[in-house]
Amino acid sequence: MRANTLFSIDKVEVEANKFSSYLLIPDESLFDSYDQMTIYGIAALYKVPVELVELKFKGLF
């Protein structure tokens, strides 16, 4: 991709990670059931990396 375009691979990777966090972690139950959970607990619940949970919460607040 770098050889054929001026597009930064890092930017594409960040956007892909954001998309996957929104796809894999549902919004509707975020505030109801996550009050007492840590980001590690949420990551374990949905079987995703902790970084995706952090991206999800960063986008919401």
Residue 16 is assigned to a structural domain of this protein: yes
Domain extent at residue 56: 9-60
Instruction: Convert the pLDDT of each residue in 15-40 to its tens digit.
Output: 888 888 888 888 765 566 666 788 89
In a domain, 4, yes or no: no
Domain count, the chain: 1
Q: Does residue 24 lie in a domain region?
A: yes
Q: How large a percentage of the chain has pLDDT more than 70?
A: 67
* Per-residue confidence (pLDDT) for residue 8, from 0 to 100: 58
For residue 10, give Cα distances in angstroms to 1, 15, 16, 46, 58: 11, 9, 10, 25, 18
Q: Which of 9, 17, 10, 11 is nearest to 48 (CA)?
A: 17
Mean pLDDT within 44-53: 88
DSSP string, 14-53: HHHHHHHHHHHS-STTHHHH-TT--HHHHHHHHT--HHHH
- Asked if 17 and 55 touch (Cβ cutoff 8 Å), the reply is yes
| pLDDT, position 51 | 87
The confidence score (pLDDT) of residue 24 equals: 86
Residue 3 lies in a domain: no
What is the total residue count of the chain?
A: 61
